[in-house]
Amino acid sequence: MRAVLLGTAAGGGFPQWNCACARCVSGAPPRAQDCLAVSADGQAWYLVNAAPDLRAQILATPELAAGPGPRDTPIRGALLTDAELDHTLGLLLLRGAAGLRVWAPKAVLHAVRDEFPLREIVDAYGAWDWLPVESEVDIGDLRVSVLPVSDKHPKYAATSTVDGPWVVAYRIEDPATGGVLVYAPCLADWPPGFDEFASGASYALIDGTFYAAAEMSGATRSGVADGVQHAMGHLPIAGDHGSLARIRRALPGHRGVRWAYTHLNNTNPLVDPATPEHAEVLTFNIDLPPDGTRLDL
Ligand code: MLT
Ligand code: MN
Ligand code: ZN
């Protein structure tokens, strides 16, 4: 299996267009909103989430270039972890493509139809298949298993009463090579069963939105109210209950798993390779892959 990390930032990307904080003006390498592409054979590619940056991400990725016929594309479809705008708006940009397939949990398919008319808009240009995923699904030659993560609703669907899960994680396996990619960019907590779900993975790419628990509070980022970050439902990296401690506790059962962070927020010191936090995370053998990283699994 080949994977290309098309984007590794949280909603808004890095730097964020409406933010002039020290981090955003630091000149650290930009990151697009998180999204990746996977393929078993290097010919048929599937997106995992579809960021609003998708057009630029596709044009920057030779594997996704149009062809060989004048209107062909190697992109066959997309798999969604949740219905957040940073993970779904890119589908609107693909509306010119005929016959794409979109796999997502039922609640996510509901959100992009009944809470925000994305499906109606896209289907007006060419009917796609919208396919619910529950526990397992084959996507091309890849085998995908699903772990329910949370019932966090996107803000635009805050009042929906549809049953979850609203957020899931995926374990994508290439049966031909045994390579396994785990993708979980939205973790409000360490979900039950996640240690087992990630065990034996070649690469586990998880929610790295916030480094510290109070990162969005007034103390570190003026103008953003306390409590916003908690409400956003992202587990911090640092601290006793953070994901770094959870990863380290999951060892030694996880020998061989390469952990990595994605969905980095513009407030997160890990976006800047010059910070001590960035250096420290690397010392734990945890990856902080930049946009454009290729994985061969
Ligand atoms: C999130 O990751 O919490 C969401 O993408 C927030 C948002 O941008 O609406
Ligand atoms: Mn997000
Ligand atoms: Zn900023």
Q: Is the pLDDT of residue 126 over 90?
A: no
Q: Does domain 2-296 have CATH number 3.60.15.10?
A: yes
pLDDT single digits (tens) 250-277: 877 777 899 999 999 999 999 999 999 9
Integer Cα distance of 104 and 276 in angstroms: 38
Q: Give the ligand 1 atom nearest the CA of 155.
A: 9
CA distances from residue 162 to 60, 82, 146, 151 in whole angstroms, order as listed: 37, 14, 19, 10
Residue carrying structure tokens 């080949």: 2
User: Ligand 3 centroid to 83 CA: how many Å?
Assistant: 24
Q: Is residue 206 within 8 Å of residue 281, measured between CB atoms? A: no
User: Ligand 1 centroid to 263 CA: how many Å?
Assistant: 10
| Residue of 80, 86, 153, 261 best suited for mutating to test ligand 1, as the one with most atoms within 8 Å of CB | 86
Q: Is the pLDDT of residue 225 over 50?
A: no
- Global pTM reads 0.95
Beta carbon of 11 within 6 Å of any ligand 1 atom: yes
Q: Which residue's CA is the nearest one to ligand 1's atom 8? A: 11
Sheet of strand 45-48, all strands in order from the earlier edge strand to the far edge: 129-132, 101-104, 75-79, 45-48, 35-39, 2-7, 294-296
What is the chain's mean pLDDT, rounded?
A: 94
What pLDDT, on the 0 to 100 scale, is given for residue 257?
Answer: 93
Domain ranges of the chain: 2-296
Q: Which residue's CA is the nearest one to ligand 1's atom 7? A: 11
Which of the four pLDDT bands, split at 50, 70 and 90, describes residue 226?
Answer: very low
Q: Give the ligand 1 atom nearest the CA of 87.
A: 5
Beta carbon of 188 within 6 Å of any ligand 1 atom: no
What pLDDT, on the 0 to 100 scale, is given for residue 222?
Answer: 42
User: Ligand 3 centroid to 15 CA: how many Å?
Assistant: 6
Beta carbon of 86 within 6 Å of any ligand 1 atom: yes
Summarize the confidence of residues 4-27 as an average pLDDT. Answer: 96
pLDDT single digits (tens) 167-212: 999 999 999 999 999 999 999 999 999 999 999 999 999 999 999 9
